[in-house]
Structures are given as C-alpha cells and as structure tokens.
Amino acid sequence: MFIVTGGAGFIGSNIVNSLNNRGIDDILVVDNLENTEKIKNLSDLKIVNYMDKAEFFDFMLSAKTIGKVDAVFHEGACSDTMATDGKYVLQNNFSYSKMLLDFCQRHNAQFIYASSASVYGAGTTFVESPKYESALNAYAWSKLLFDCYIRNLDNITVQCCGLRYFNVYGPRELHKGRMASVAWHFRNQLKEFGSVKLFRGTDGYANGQQLRDFVYVDDVVNVNMFLLDNPQINGIFNVGTGRCQSFNDVALAGINYNRRKSGESSVTLEDAVSADQISYIPMPVALEGKYQSYTRADLENLRNTGYDREFDNVDQGVDKYMAILDQNE
C-alpha cells in the first residue's frame, strides 16, 4: 500500500495520478475534504481507501495495523503563507510530520515529504544548508523546523527525503483559491478582464521583474517517483528548475498562448504593456517584509543523486497547463 497525505490536494493528487499510471491503485489518500472542491481532484483517480486527516491521526496513535506500507508521500500541510495561528500551523506541519516519520519507521516504509523553498526567506542563495535558511512567516518556519528535526536525528531506519518545492504550478490546483499559482490567476484575469495585474517593483526589481523559480508540477512528481525508485537515497533536496524567470514572463506566456490559439502572432512584453494587457499594482501591506523577490533552486544535491531529467521552462510549462485547462472546460 502507498499512502499519500494531502492526496486530494494539488501535488498529492498528481502523485496519485502518477502511481495510477504505473498500474498502482492500492493507495490510501489522507486529507481534509471540508473544501469539497478537492474531491474533483480524486474523481478520475483510482484509490482503495480514504481517511480524514483527524481519523488517520487517531489511527497512528492506536495499536491498529494497516498491513504492509511501501511508502508514504507526505504532501498534506497548512500551506497558507499568511496564516497567523501559529499553534495550528505547527500542529499540522511539524507535530503531524513527526508522527508520520515514526509511523513509517514502525512499518519500514519509505518517507518522502514536502518541504518548501520558503525556508530560505529573503536570501539569494538557495543551497540546502542552515547558513542560508531564514524563514519569514509561520508556514516557512514550520517547514524549516521539521527539516532541522530530520537533520538532528541519527536513528532513522527508513528512506527519508525532504523536497523543497519552489513555485509549483499546473493541473489540479483550482481548489487552492488565492494560494493557487500565478499562472492560474493570470489565466483567470485574462479571461475576465483581458489583462493581467502584477506587483510593482520591489527590492530593487522593476515592475513585474521579481524573479522566481517556477516549476511545472509534472517535474515535481517526476522527482518524487525517482526517489521512490531509489530507496537508498536520503536527504533534503531542492526541487525547482535551476533557473529563475520573472512574473512578466509568466504573464506573457499566458498572453501569447491565447494569441497563438487564436491564430495571432506572439507579442513582446513592451507590446503587452502598451496594449494594457499587463499592468502593475502596489504590493499589499500584508506581504511587506514577507515576500521573496528572488528564488532560484541550486540543484547540485539533486543532480548528485543521479537525477538528470530536464525541467520545463515557463513557456513550455504554461503552454502545457493552459492546454489542459482548455480541455477540461
């Protein structure tokens, strides 16, 4: 059996889909379905069991057995970077994760969990080392705290891999609302208003030129599957493309996808701004001091494991994503 926490969520449901594509459906999904929109992520997938997060929490505390567990993909978390209830965030992202690791060790199961690039804070070096880590909010700190907990354990008996996801986008994220990717938000803005709103310049960057490592969800899943296939690998790894691109690039990729779909030629950023298809708004006060204006994954650790697949750039990933959204409408 394979267990996917957060299995009805964005990355979790894509992992379930990838397991299905391998012919695996002996899957237990653990999630919280108070947001019923997440059920749509499971409607086309094959699983054998579902447990509510609280039910599974109680199960882990009990002496009940679940049979052989091959691996746990721990994707479930409070992912709201603006959450202000620190107790809730820590219970979900730290305490629950510790219990899952213990559960995996009792069942001799591989443990592959979601960390986050947010642990690097406002730094400009993204290497998996404590000297480059400085969390800016409760979410980031909870993720960093568990990474540090893993680093300090010397009695882990199973594969344990933490994946620091950078800016992931792609199918099955519609339930996330304001926490969905900018690619998804930009597409909605284009459909509704015919234009896209980006943040004005911050931290020395020009309007919309803040740089992020935007990584397509299929690439994220591929890394998870690689680690599943290589249980001898342990550690904490960045999962991004290794390149940084601007929010302007993401917006322009969406605009040009629509233009090509309509038989029109692509435009430059200057053309899109002149035509009012891209405009700029002030940074919200709530994000001041908590916003990463630059991220770029250092992939040396991941590449040293033997993972050699290339990652989609923004143009490639956005084209794939927009085509899937069009098909699903």
pLDDT for residue 102: 94
User: d(Cα 59, Cα 153) in Å, to the nearest integer?
Assistant: 24
Which is higher by pLDDT, 98 or 82? 98
CA distances from 117 to 13, 130, 212 (A): 20, 13, 10
User: d(Cα 124, Cα 80) in Å, to the nearest integer?
Assistant: 22
Beta-carbon contacts of 3 under 8 Å, excluding residues fewer than 6 positions away, are 27, 28, 30, 69, 71, 72, 73, 109
Region of poorest pLDDT, from 28-37, 84-93, 240-249, 260-269: 84-93
Which is higher by pLDDT, 86 or 255? 255
Domains defined for the chain, CATH in brackets: 2-171+216-241+297-311 (3.40.50.720), 176-210+246-287 (no CATH)
Which DSSP string corresponds to 244-256?
A: -EEHHHHHHHHHH
3-class state of residue 325 by DSSP = helix
pLDDT category at 62 given cuts 50, 70, 90 is confident
pLDDT for residue 65: 76
Query: Does the pLDDT at position 213 exceed 90?
Result: yes
Supply the pTM of this predicted model.
0.95
pLDDT category at 292 given cuts 50, 70, 90 is confident
The residues annotated with a catalytic role in the active site are 139, 176
Locus of tokens 């400085």? 134
Tens digits of per-residue pLDDT, 113-165?
999 999 999 899 999 999 999 998 899 999 999 999 999 999 999 999 999 99
With pLDDT > 70 as the criterion, what percentage of the chain qualifies? 99
pLDDT category at 96 given cuts 50, 70, 90 is very high
Q: What value does the mean pLDDT of the chain take?
A: 95
Which pair of tokens denotes residue 272? 């899109």
Query: Does the pLDDT at position 84 exceed 90?
Result: no
